[in-house]
Amino acid sequence: MSTVQQNIAAIEDPVVRELATRGQIRSFPKNTVFINEGDRGDSLFVIVTGRVKVFVSDNQGREMILDIHGPGQYVGEMALDGRPRSASVMTLEATICAMVTRDALKDAIVANPDLAMSLIEELIDRARIATDTIKNLALMDVYGRVARLLLSLARERDGKLVVPERLTQQDIADRVGASRDMISRIFKDLTTGGYVTVVDRQITLNRRPPPRW
């Protein structure tokens, strides 16, 4: 069994694992955009190894990151309706994917009807996340969005809340729809107040940030 096959076999979700076994293996270097917003497409990509970001951009090159996905997750499923891609996807590190065409997906659903329900549940979950994101952009100020992002990403480690991803201020700005200068000012206040510590881009939450600043 090859290393790629071993990685596919290690995918915990049986539905995603089944999809990956039906896909064509594709390898992408770091910083490769392999799905372009507006393009036509009929395939989804199961991430076998690596990490990718899903983002939208405007004509001035400004970006907003919608989500980050890693092994055992998939992207590009919105194009299976035959309409243009609604977002772009770029690798954050060298990434291997299993590309599953619409025909292969149909075959998988015929062979395992429960797969369709699992896909529907995942789409509903992502729709809820998108709704929450829109609501927060509309109703929360930038500080509130930053605090919410940090708390959603943080994981407990040795009794502390640590953000596993080593995020730059620009990364955070792209995730919350703000300027890097604004994020810099917010982090300066959070650091001065003792709420966060940043060492080599590793963010540690010393205590829960207040909901409003």
| pLDDT value for 93 | 95
- Here the CATH number for the domain that contains residue 175 is 1.10.10.10
What is the extent of the structural domain holding 23? 3-137
Summarize pLDDT for 42-65 with one digit per residue, the tens: 899 999 999 999 998 877 777 888
Q: Are residues 118 and 37 in the same domain?
A: yes
CATH number of the domain within which 14 lies? 2.60.120.10
Quick check: 149 pLDDT over 70? yes
Which pLDDT score, from 0 to 100, does residue 188 have?
92
Looking at the fold, whether 61 and 163 belong to one and the same domain comes out as: no
Residue 138 has pLDDT above 60, yes or no: no
Residue where one domain finishes, among candidates 137, 159, 177 = 137
Structure tokens that stand for 44 in this block: 């989804």
Residue 197 has pLDDT above 90, yes or no: yes
Rounded Cα gap, residues 129 and 56, in angstroms: 16
Q: What is the mean pLDDT of the chain?
A: 87
Question: Considering 86, 118, 137, which residue would you say is the last residue of a domain?
Answer: 137
Report pLDDT digits (tens) over 74-85.
999 876 777 888
Task: Return the pLDDT at 81.
Answer: 76
End-of-domain residue from the set 113, 137, 161: 137
CB 131 within 8 A of CB 175: no
For residues 20 and 115, membership in a common domain is answered with yes
User: Given pLDDT bands bounded at 50, 70 and 90, which one contains residue 137?
Assistant: low
On whether residue 212 sits in a domain, the answer given is no
For residue 16, CA distances in Å to 21, 47, 75 come to 9, 9, 11
Count: domains in the chain: 2
The pLDDT of 159-180, averaged and rounded, is 88
pLDDT at 136 over 80: no
Among the listed ranges 84-93, 127-136, 139-148, which one has the minimum average pLDDT value? 127-136
CA dist 34 to 22, 29, 89, 109, 155, Å? Answer: 19, 10, 6, 25, 30
Q: At residue 211, does pLDDT exceed 80?
A: no
